[in-house]
Amino acid sequence: MPELPEVETIVRKLRPQLLDRIVQEADLRWSRTLAFPSAKKFRGLIKGQEIREVTRRAKFFILRLSDLSLLIHLRMSGDLFIKDSKIGPEKHDRLILKLSGNNSLIFNDTRKFGRVWLTANPEEVLGRLGPEPLSRSFTSKWLHTALHGKQRQLKPLLLDQTFLAGLGNIYADEALHIAKLHPLAASDSITAREAEALHAAVRKVLKEGIRRNGASIDWVYRGGEFQNYFRVYDREGKPCPTCGTSIQRITVGQRGTHFCPTCQMR
């Protein structure tokens, strides 16, 4: 699943191609891609809307339109790209927005998990999300207090989008290794100093991920190179870059989790 750095990379790539374009027509090719409103209402409302801002919140791709906002969550296999409107649709294209300038914005989603919302109030969809980890509101003091407000294992809590928005499996593993924290540690056992280390690590791996255009580890998202700099993720049996101990893989909250048993002692 594309995480915050991958979504941010897509936003930065598409922004100059989408700004000031007018939506001329919406071709919804799989109705369940649309979470809200109805297909008929969607086609009527989005036609003629001008794209005024292209941004992101957590893992959501957001188009601010003349009167509304279009939110897209890529989920497991979604992708967004621009192509010439004269080129016909592909098998897994779920939504095609034909734009002024003879281009189309394509939402392609092989597994059909991705969803689209058209709303006048984005907070109806985004309101429960936690703080952005690269925002000013995400501080080490906030993190320490928030961790102690829960009684959960550390990694599943970091992946909870209502706790912290945008962090996913790859970047959680990488941040926990840098901070020298075990993924199964109790959140309310984290000291203030450990929270400072985790705060710095989360911001470091996300910024590095964005700088390297995200991580390309499967057929869904391509173009990034952060996978060449993984410390622990997907490196089971390989030496830890810090101490040389073999990286281990366990399952935490139904997610494959990679860590160094020496650097990240429980």
pLDDT tens digits, 197-249: 999 999 999 999 999 998 886 655 667 889 999 999 999 999 999 999 999 99
Strand 103-109 relative to strand 93-99, pairing: antiparallel
Q: What six digits make up the tokens of 148? A: 């102690």
Rounded Cα distance, 50 and 29, in Å: 22
Catalytic site residue from 3, 6, 8, 174: 3
- Per the annotation, the verdict on 255 as an active-site residue is yes
Catalytic site residue from 5, 6, 8, 59: 59
Residue 110: per-residue pLDDT: 86
- Per the annotation, the verdict on 174 as an active-site residue is no
Domains and CATH numbers, the chain: 4-126 (3.20.190.10), 140-259 (1.10.8.50)
Residue 21: per-residue pLDDT: 95
The residues facing 34 across adjacent strands are 116
Rounded Cα distance, 4 and 232, in Å: 19
Rounded Cα distance, 53 and 16, in Å: 10
The dihedrals phi and psi of 103, each to the nearest 5 degrees, come to: -120, 160
Per DSSP, the chain holds a count of helices (H) and strands (E) of: 7, 11
- Per the annotation, the verdict on 2 as an active-site residue is yes
Distances (CA, A) of 244 to 105, 111, 181, 247: 46, 38, 17, 9
- Per the annotation, the verdict on 25 as an active-site residue is no
Catalytic site residue from 37, 203, 255, 261: 255
pLDDT higher than 70, residue 89? yes
Rounded Cα distance, 88 and 49, in Å: 23
Residue 266: per-residue pLDDT: 83
Catalytic site residue from 2, 131, 133, 183: 2
CB 46 within 8 Å of CB 99: no
DSSP structural state of residue 83: E
Residue 90 pLDDT level (bands cut at 50, 70, 90): confident
Residue 221: per-residue pLDDT: 62
Q: What is the pLDDT of residues 12-63, one digit of tens each?
A: 999 999 999 999 999 998 889 999 999 999 999 999 999 999 999 999 999 9
191 CB burial (10 A radius; 0-12, 13-18, 19+): exposed
